[in-house]
Amino acid sequence: MRLIVFFDLPMVTKTEKRAYVQFRRFLLNDGYDMIQWSVYARLLNGNDDHEKHLKRLVDSLPPAGSIRCMTVTEKQFAGIKFLVGMPLFQEKKVPANQMLLF
């Protein structure tokens, strides 16, 4: 399954920018891939994994802004239609397979 995080964060003051940078860095460090600007997704293997990463996410939220998250099954995620544009290299190379070949 995939945990998808959508965010809008205020970027006016220096503190706000810093909070944004820290949150985005957390997402990258925790293994999320950017699928679009302000939309990040992480692949999860089962419910334990889901709980673990959701807890980490909740513990790392910035103080202000709007952040939503949604969990979808792999089948639903794979059903995403590309109306304009193409899948990223990362999406094609690192799918839900247990075995990755490079």
Binding site residues, other proteins, CB under 8 A: 1-2, 25, 28-31, 33, 43-47, 73-74, 89-90, 93-94, 96, 98-102
In the bound state with other proteins, the residue whose beta carbon lies nearer, of 13 and 98, is 98
Handedness of CA 79, 71, 31, 14 (dihedral sign): positive
In the bound state with other proteins, the residue whose beta carbon lies nearer, of 43 and 69, is 43
What's the closest the beta carbon of residue 13 comes to other proteins, in angstroms? Answer: 26
Q: For the purposes of burial, counting CB atoms within 10 Å of the CB of 42, is it exposed (0-12), middle (13-18) or buried (19 or more)?
A: buried
